[in-house]
Chains A and B, each alone.
Chain A
């Protein structure tokens, strides 16, 4: 009985969302096959980004809001590839290659700043995202075309410098999904995207088993003890953020090639928010997250988005409700996860305090 209660408490968020969705799906009236196809596509689109969040959580740095830095790097890579007109898979791989040094630099910067703000990594990453957004804007809207030559005039704003608001990714659009065509029971399976996700998952699993991973877990659980044992705490944390940023850059490229366009000024902006919300809906917490959490999160989060507008229209008569709901749910679930985390910590403190009462529990 106690175990069952514990199970419900531990998985409160997941259970809540399963209930919400099981009400919303019939209300939306959308066909099952359509939903299934959408989920298969979206799994391929978003999972990589969500998995990019795992290592900093393991290193005790919480949810890496700084991942938008990686997303910016990914977009810069894609813009260059579009300019140079490299198409298909080679274009994507080159974009990733270009994003790599930028991501490493930004990740190092982010990690170093977070090391100066230990215990406040999340809000630091969040604000850092806003700050770097300014730098990115200057790069995209001023430097491109004026300081950095851009050959393709279609990319530029009519004034002669600065990237257009929307960059069409037609030459690489959905190349991952269609590279190995596979249809099962009338459903398209994006095989290559899944292979990428499998590769990054395998990387995470392997990484956890290495000395690096062990150090990261030690640092995540107790910095002081890890430091006393001779583990380079700050370095380990920076590496966690760098890997996360690099993966976020790759993830953003996979994400955008599936969508087919870049919104130059805001594609990266909400990616941190949505990825983090996705991970939390999958049952992760500020201190613990797994690949499983990431995948479950993608399925639940996107199912809700798919059905919420239709359900909203059918029930209340307004499709706008769906988009409203999306924002509401993302911010809400993050707030909930932070509160739950704090609440659990207080409960643990209270629990360990119980032992002080001379072994008695009947004292009020």
Chain B
């Protein structure tokens, strides 16, 4: 590939959000007709980078960016997305921006319609002109042919299969005359295999016409297949760039998640369930959850009594939907059984009464009463659900709140969890993120749950608090035998606490791995690249050998043997 004639060059791009560095010194080039694959985990900085390229308002509002963008060898500073469009850079977003009741053609030419001439124009402006539908259909058919997809220009978007919606978005971008570069953000995420195939071949067609493409995808197999060049981001830095030809899904996956961490600090912790043949505390079958952005389609797994079970996966794949569905915070269906007894889904009270508790990832809106004190927050659920912290008056005719008991209880947890505060009466809204998270945990502990869901326990909190939170979970598990399910985006964290980790991909469990499995295996599951084509047979074999080795090594732990067979 000729890398000299770059159409777009990024030079030392960096970005801070409120003092947090999210991108530093990212540089790469894209040439005309080149397909560049941009890969990285969630939070690696891909979308921030694209926002910088399109000069989204939130970039300006947070203080701009470092480095420079060269477009056709000239440094540019776009004032907004429309400037970027004007220059010939198109973007196909992850979520559809289409009008459901409009036809393909109408959507493609939204606000760029061709119009009939009219005498009234001079008086009322051009918006009074009638639409020239014939011409619009002709033009859209031409653009559709250019992409080479089977789209009907007259079909309404709401009647289309998802794949066609995606095609419509792409056609809209290429129907602009000046377009030179198209950014596709996860274009195949919603497509079926055959649709994705059609899309990939049409992208090749576009590239052959000299249009440069930046292809962002978690489906690494497609990246290897389609792209000329691959750029891997991790933690806001460019880790590596190399030609896609000759690379493999495995290499990219391990670059994405990071290098092997040699030592596991697991040895010293004792997990309650270890070595015991416990019956399942929680079994979930064919669960679906309708949680916006975290859709769960078909999930089956079971957790043993006293186990710490991890659920990982990239953002938006549905891992957060699992606890929210089970705990009745989002519409859900399927079978969930607690100690073998099926539980009714759909009401938040049922699971709480059955002895389950949930530390939500959304601690400010779901987890806490921000305007109340620490003591109230910690004891609130237990009081509501289990009638704790109440004292009977007049032989039980009334139930009086026992403030003293609440105060003492809160004090105990402030000490245990090292919550930095002025006292149990301090407003929770004034605490830092880490301390708020500790209050959430204490609130769940106050319920003395049998099964505890902890969602994103360490999101947005500092290292010290992180350590305490994880340690407390482990301690609680080993002391009371509480079954804990941790849902987290941070693989390292899951691997340090859990014995078995399920990886969720596109609303399904892609596989369940022991914590000792190599990172690259996790990477492959997270990218949904488990079922490799014939090209990667050697890789498959490698993986199989590796997991066999793991299983033989870990024979003493039954958790490991469960492996992927559960799916």
Give the B-binding residues of A (Cβ under 8 A). 206, 209-212, 214-215, 217-218, 221-222, 224-226, 228-231, 353, 356-360, 363-364
Given known contacts A356-B290, A357-B288, A358-B286, A222 and B110 CB-to-CB distance under 8 angstroms: no
B462–chain A nearest beta-carbon distance, Å: 36
Q: Does B57 interact with chain A (Cβ within 8 Å)?
A: no
A158 to B334, alpha carbons, bound, how many Å? 77
Contacts of B115 in A (CB 8 A): 211
Asked if B416 lies at the interface with its beta carbon under 8 angstroms from chain A, I say: no
Contact of A357 among B82, B126, B128, B333 (CB under 8 A): B333
Please give me the residue from chain A that is nearest to B289 by CB atom. A356
A228-B288 contact given A211-B127, A356-B507, CB 8 Å threshold: no
Q: Is A357 in contact with B127, judged by CB distance below 8 angstroms?
A: no
Q: Contacts A225-B99, A228-B97 given: A212-B106 contact, CB under 8 Å?
A: no
Knowing A357-B288, A357-B298, the reply to whether A225 touches B98 (Cβ < 8 A) is yes
**Cα distance, A142 to B126, chains bound together (Å):** 44
Question: For residue B113, which residues in chain A have a CB less than 8 angstroms away from its CB?
Answer: 211, 214
* Nearest-neighbor residue (CB-CB) of B100 within chain A: A221
B111, A225: Cβ atoms closer than 8 Å = no
A218 touches B99 (CB 8 A): yes
Q: Is A218 within 8 A of B130, CB to CB?
A: no
Are A218 and B295 CB-contacts (below 8 A) given A206-B130, A211-B131? no
Mask of B505-536 contacts with A, CB within 8 angstroms, 1/0: 00110000000000000000000000000000
Contact partners of B298 in chain A: CB under 8 A: 357-360
List, in ascending order, chain A residues with CB within 8 A of B286's CB. 357-358, 360, 363
Of chain B, the residue at the smallest CB distance from A357 is B288
A215-B128 Cα distance, complex, nearest whole Å = 11
Residue of B nearest to A222 (CB): B99
| Interchain CA distance A225-B113 in the complex, whole Å | 15
> Besides A221-B99, A222-B100, A230-B82, 19 other CB < 8 A contacts?
A210-B128, A210-B130, A211-B129, A212-B127, A214-B113, A214-B131, A217-B101, A218-B102, A218-B110, A218-B111, A221-B100, A225-B110, A229-B110, A353-B331, A356-B507, A358-B298, A359-B298, A363-B288, A364-B333
Task: Tell me whether B495 is interfacial, beta carbon within 8 Å.
Answer: no
A56 to B469, CA, bound (A): 54
* Distance A281 CA – B131 CA, assembled complex (angstroms): 32
Q: Is the CB of B296 within 8 A of A356?
A: yes
| Separation of A214 and B113 alpha carbons in the complex (Å) | 9
B interface residue numbers (CB < 8 A to A):
82, 97-102, 106, 110-111, 113, 115, 126-131, 286, 288-290, 295-298, 331, 333-334, 507-508
Residues of chain B contacted by A209 (CB below 8 angstroms):
130-131
A363 to B333, CA, bound (A): 8
A360 and B335 CA atoms in complex are apart in Å by: 14
**Complex-state Cα separation, A363 to B286, whole angstroms:** 8
Select which of A206, A221, A353, A360 is within 8 A of B102 by beta carbon. Answer: A221
Measured in the bound complex, the distance between the Cα atoms of B289 and A50 in whole Å is 44
- CB of B103, distance to nearest CB on chain A (Å): 11
A219: nearest chain-B partner, CB-CB: B99
* In the complex, chain A residues whose CB is within 8 Å of the CB of B110: 218, 225-226, 229, 231
| Cβ-defined partner of B111 (8 Å) among A221, A231, A353, A364 | A231
A336 vs chain B, min Cβ distance (A): 23
Closest 7 CB pairs of A and B: A358-B298, A229-B111, A229-B110, A356-B288, A209-B130, A211-B127, A225-B97
- State whether A211 touches B126 (Cβ < 8 A): yes
Within 8 Å by CB of A356, from B97, B131, B297, lies B297
User: Which residue of B100, B129, B290 has the most chain A CB atoms within 10 A of its CB atom?
Assistant: B290
Bound-state CA distance A313–B290 (Å) is 55
A363, B100: Cβ atoms closer than 8 Å: no
Chain A residues lying within 8 Å of B111, measured Cβ to Cβ, are 215, 218, 226, 229-231
Contact (Cβ within 8 A) A210 B99: no
Supposing A210-B131, A218-B110, A230-B82 touch, asked if A356 and B99 sit within 8 A by C-beta, the answer is no
Could you say which residues of chain A place their CB within 8 Å of the CB of B126?
211
Query: What are 8 A-B pairs at a CB distance below 8 A?
Result: A209-B131, A210-B127, A211-B115, A211-B130, A211-B131, A226-B110, A360-B286, A363-B288
Q: What chain A residues lie within 8 Å of B106 (beta carbons)?
A: 214
* A229 CB contacts on chain B under 8 angstroms: 97, 110-111
Which residues of chain A have C-beta atoms less than 8 A from B334's C-beta? 357, 363
A210, B82: Cα distance in complex, Å: 24
Complexed CA–CA distance, A296 and B267 (Å): 79
Contacts of B100 in A (CB 8 A): 221-222
CB distance from B565 to the nearest CB of A (A): 19
For the complex, give the distance between the alpha carbons of A225 and B168 in Å: 14
Chain A residue at minimum C-beta to C-beta distance from B106 = A214
CA distance A165 to B110 in the complex (A): 51
With both beta carbons as reference points, the residue of chain A lying nearest to B120 in the complex is identified as: A210
Provide the bound-state CA to CA distance between A356 and B82, in Å: 36
CA distance A225 to B507 in the complex (A): 27
B128's nearest neighbour on chain A, judged by CB, is A210
How far is A7 from B564 in the complex, measured between Cα atoms in Å? 49
Instruction: Please determine whether B97 and A221 come into contact, CB atoms closer than 8 angstroms.
Output: no
B295: A residues at CB distance < 8 A? 356
A353-B131 CB under 8 A given contacts A211-B126, A222-B100, A358-B297: no
Determine if B288 and A358 form an interchain contact, defined as CB atoms under 8 angstroms apart: yes
Complex Cα–Cα for A231 and B290 (A):
32
Which residues on B sit within 8 Å (CB–CB) of A215? 111, 127
B102 — which chain A residues lie within 8 A by C-beta?
Answer: 217-218, 221
Evaluate whether A357 and B130 lie within 8 angstroms (CB atoms) in the complex, with A214-B106, A218-B99 already known.
Answer: no
A353 to chain B, nearest CB (A): 5
From A222, A353, A358, B290 is in contact (CB under 8 Å) with A353
Interface centre among B82, B97, B111, B289 (most CB of A within 10 A): B111
Q: Inside 8 A of A364's CB, which chain B residues have their CB? A: 333
A218's closest neighbor in chain B, by CB?
Answer: B99
A363 to B296, CA, bound (A): 14
Residue of B nearest to A287 (CB): B101
**Shortest distance from the beta carbon of B167 to any chain A beta carbon, whole Å:** 17
CB atoms of B97 and A212 under 8 A apart = no
Choice from B98, B101, B129 contacting A210 with Cβ under 8 Å:
B129
Q: A282 CB to closest chain B CB, in angstroms?
A: 20
The residues of A that contact B131 with a CB separation of less than 8 Å are 209-211, 214
A308 vs B200: C-alpha distance when bound (angstroms): 66
The chain B residue sitting closest to A207, CB to CB, is: B128
